[in-house]
């Protein structure tokens, strides 16, 4: 019944935990390594409550190549799904070396051991941020790539490393470029719960919904949308997680494929004011907001053309933004403290 044995790095960081659920539900065997620097081991039990299946887990920092090698010595993996990443734009500007050291060295150690132990397939958790500075939308995969901070740049560097490893047939890979994930499982057991002031829009809206903060700051009011507020391509994390399964299947079934970068988004955009309005409707509460100046480094519009994912992986998003907001709110209510 077991289909594949997979190594997942950084599972507890939101998308990883949802992807692990989907992998287990399709009878794959999952081994997770995480340094637990930014998350709690409780998620392991929650994943068990959702799937009734166990994972192998080891607390390993990917900087520690000796410990990481032990994992490869004792397990023969079919593929690696690499999520482990530091991901704050602001922090990456303050501590660029930390970002390069972690994000790049983590990945290099992993790739080197994959090469040594003959693990040929990788799914890389990339991001729409590799498309910085685009003015035309929706974004397609072959568009110009650029990055304006160390966090985004580290994603771009790894994508390019993977491309060259594929050219030499060392490691075959798919970089999944996520648009704006909304993190919450319909069970309400796992989701996004920042320990600090939320950076991203929906977690902030949820804090206001849960009376933790008074009002939402709407960044920017100068883009030609229905209401002048900025737009993003929000995608439910469960759809995103399923995209990893489809990508894995594609990689394993198509041995001639070497490297692909694939957008995971919905082709739809939603404005900031629409997000606030949808949430107000769902929770039956009017949410306060104020318009403020744009955030440094922010883009007015980001949304994608995901037709490559449909053509190649037979994947497309199924859950709506309203469903994602509803699931996020359920998660917020279940995790108030």
Residues in touch with ligand UD1 (CB under 6 A): 89, 127, 129, 180, 199-201, 204, 216-220, 230, 232, 272, 295, 297-298, 302
DSSP alpha helix (H) spans, the chain: 15-25, 42-51, 65-74, 89-94, 96-99, 105-116, 150-167, 201-209, 237-253, 272-283, 307-308, 321-334
- What are 15's two structure tokens? 């998308």
Identify the CA nearest to 16 among candidates 28, 29, 34.
Answer: 34
Q: Least separation, in Å, of the C-beta of 220 and ligand UD1?
A: 6
Cα–Cα distances in angstroms (integers) from residue 191 to residues 8, 16, 33, 187, 296, in the given order: 18, 11, 19, 10, 27
Report the chain's terminal Cα–Cα distance, integer Å: 39
Catalytic amino acids?
151
Least distance CB 327 / ligand UD1 (angstroms): 16
CB closer to ligand UD1 out of 165 and 182: 182
Q: Which is nearer to ligand UD1, 39 or 166 (CB)?
A: 39
What is the nearest approach in angstroms of ligand UD1 to the Cβ of residue 194? Answer: 11
* CB closer to ligand UD1 out of 121 and 229: 229
Residue of 193, 97, 231, 113 lying closest to 153 (CA atoms): 97
Q: How far apart are CA 191 and CA 12, in angstroms?
A: 10
Q: Output the smallest distance, CB 186 to ligand UD1, in A.
A: 21
Torsions phi, psi for 94 (to 5 deg): -80, -35
Query: In this complex, which beta carbon is closest to ligand UD1, that of residue 157 or of residue 312?
Result: 157
């Amino acid at each position: 019944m077991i289909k594949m044995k997979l190594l997942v790095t950084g599972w507890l960081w939101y998308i990883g935990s949802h992807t692990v659920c989907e992998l287990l539900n399709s009878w794959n065997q999952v081994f997770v390594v995480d340094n637990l620097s930014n998350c709690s081991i409780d998620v392991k039990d929650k994943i068990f409550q959702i799937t009734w299946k166990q994972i192998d887990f080891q607390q390993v920092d990917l900087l520690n190549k000796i410990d990481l090698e032990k994992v490869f010595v004792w397990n023969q993996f079919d593929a690696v799904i690499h999520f482990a990443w530091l991901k704050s734009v602001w922090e990456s500007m303050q501590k660029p070396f930390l970002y390069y050291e972690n994000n790049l060295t983590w990945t290099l150690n992993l790739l080197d051991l994959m090469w040594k132990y003959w693990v040929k397939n990788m799914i890389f958790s990339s991001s729409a941020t590799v498309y910085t500075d685009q003015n035309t939308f929706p974004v397609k995969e072959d568009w110009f790539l650029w990055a304006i901070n160390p966090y985004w740049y580290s994603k771009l560097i790894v994508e390019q490393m993977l491309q060259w490893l594929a050219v030499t047939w060392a490691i075959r890979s798919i970089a999944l470029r996520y648009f704006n994930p909304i993190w919450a499982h319909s069970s309400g057991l796992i989701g996004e719960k920042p320990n600090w002031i939320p950076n991203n829009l929906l977690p902030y809206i949820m804090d206001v919904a849960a009376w933790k903060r008074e009002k939402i700051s709407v960044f920017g009011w100068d883009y030609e949308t229905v209401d002048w507020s900025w737009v993003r391509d929000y995608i439910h994390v469960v759809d995103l997680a399923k995209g990893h399964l489809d990508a894995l299947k594609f990689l394993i079934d198509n041995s001639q494929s070497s490297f692909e970068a694939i957008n995971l988004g919905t082709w739809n955009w939603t404005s900031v004011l629409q997000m606030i309005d949808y949430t107000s409707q769902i929770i039956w509460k009017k949410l306060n907001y104020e318009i403020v100046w744009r955030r440094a480094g922010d883009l007015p519009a980001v949304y994608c053309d995901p037709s490559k994912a449909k053509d190649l992986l037979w994947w497309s998003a199924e859950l709506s933004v309203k469903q994602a907001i509803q699931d996020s709110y359920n998660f917020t209510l279940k995790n108030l403290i």
